[in-house]
Amino acid sequence: MNSRISTKRHYELAEVASDGFPIWVNKHYEWNHLLHSHDFIELVIVERGRGVHFTKDSRRKIVPGDVFVIPVGMEHGYENVELLDSWNIIFDLELLKPLMPDLKHMPGFHTLFVLEANRSKLAEVPLELDVDALGVVRQLSRKIAGERREHRDGYRSACILALGELVLFLSREASGGERDNASIRLAEVLGFMERNCKRELKLEELSGMMNMSSRNFQRLFRLYLGTNPFAHLLDIRLQRARRLLEAGKMNISEIAAESGFSDGAYFTRQFRKVFGLTPSAYRGVRHSGS
């Protein structure tokens, strides 16, 4: 076992990406690492070796092919490391904003980047890649790392495109397979809510998708997401409305209806509560700045 220990407790993106472009790739030969945190999302793909990944609340073994996401601010570390070799991809999800309408319809995206990012207990690795899939991930990771290192003209666009392809590939992989556990089924419910946010959704319909009582479903939802299903649905609708306002192709009433709001006044109140502006004022600010 490698006995080397890192003791640093907090990392900032500015330390590794000094040019301010928020994508970075490390080919990391991990050692035992005490609890630490960082101000960026970290996507970890284990290529070889083994060890234990832990938080303050739990521990889980990791082996080649395991993929997991460390959210902003989570304290975590590694122990019992044996030749652990991983790709660590650091990035800002906002870079993939144009892809979100598609990604958020995919259960695998919710499994990796929503559910995994909202829980501190690491009951299981959310994605395990086979040899072929690991090869695809290795190729895309090398592409991002190479573009980042060489700084050729257009490297930022090349990095974003490769990152988008990587996140899409992993989301598809996490959406497939025969695993039938609570997190996978809840991810399917989240994708269903994204796809059907325009219509009325009832608690019984959502809990029925998981073969649970409404009470147990709400308890599980709060455990994973820290909120209730209808607060989450409201957020989906408001984010959809925000994207439509930025696109500028519909009037306010059409956007409200397209986002699942039957009451225009309620839409305006909720939008202002979250974004600090009415929908029309938000559109005006966005257009004046473009």
The span from the CA of 38 to the CA of 78, in Å, is 15
Return mean pLDDT, the chain: 86
Copy the structure tokens of residue 186. 């809840």
What pLDDT shows up at residue 2? 47
The pLDDT tens digits for 257-290 are 999 999 999 999 999 999 999 999 998 887 665 5
Asked whether the CA dihedral 181, 68, 23, 92 is positive or negative, the reply is positive
DSSP 258: H
CA-CA-CA-CA torsion sign (112, 117, 119, 120): positive
What integer is the mean pLDDT of 22-31?
A: 81
* pTM for the structure as a whole: 0.73
What is the percent of the chain where pLDDT is above 70? 89
pLDDT at 181: 66
What integer is the mean pLDDT of 94-116? 86
Residue 36 pairs in a beta bridge with 76
Report whether pLDDT(114) > 70: yes
- What pLDDT, on a 0 to 100 scale, did the predictor assign at position 127? 82
Supply the pLDDT for residue 1: 42
Q: What is the pLDDT of residue 290?
A: 54
pLDDT of residue 249: 85
pLDDT-based confidence at residue 8 (cuts at 50, 70, 90): low
3-class DSSP state of 5: strand
At residue 68, does pLDDT exceed 90? no
| Residue indicated by tokens 């989301």 | 171
Please report the domains of the chain, with CATH numbers, ordered by start residue: 5-175 (2.60.120.280), 196-288 (1.10.10.60)
- List C-alpha distances in Å: 132 to 83, 126, 137, 177: 21, 18, 9, 15
pLDDT at 149 over 70: yes
